[in-house]
Amino acid sequence: MYRVLVVDDESAIRDGLADGVKWEELGFVLVGTAEDGTIALEEIVSSHPHIVVTDIRMPGMDGIELMRRARDCGENARFIFISGHEEFDY
């Protein structure tokens, strides 16, 4: 099974993705959630997820910086970026 980590600073989105998707039926196992990039990086290094579903804009460390730092740590997870912002500067 593929391991998935969900990262979002908004608890409704984070919990909705974590609880609303039937991960195991799709061949995945949810290894955890994180409310910001700093916590997520620690989780990535400890659980080595195959896929990280992350908000692109978060306070502190955004999703792009999270991906860069994970790569710097030698992690090879695939990143799926999500955003609910209407103004998309990225």
The Cα-based distances of 46 to 8, 22, 24, 28 in angstroms read 18, 23, 21, 18
**Which strand (E) or helix (H) includes residue 83?**
none
- pLDDT at residue 67 is higher than 90: yes
- pLDDT at residue 35 is higher than 70: yes
- Bridge partners (DSSP) listed for residue 80: 53
At residue 87, the pLDDT reads 66
Residue 23 and residue 51 in contact, taking contact as beta carbons nearer than 8 Å: no
- pLDDT at residue 89 is higher than 70: no
At residue 88, the pLDDT reads 60
At residue 90, the pLDDT reads 55
Of 43, 79, 37, 75, nearest to 59 (Cα)? 37
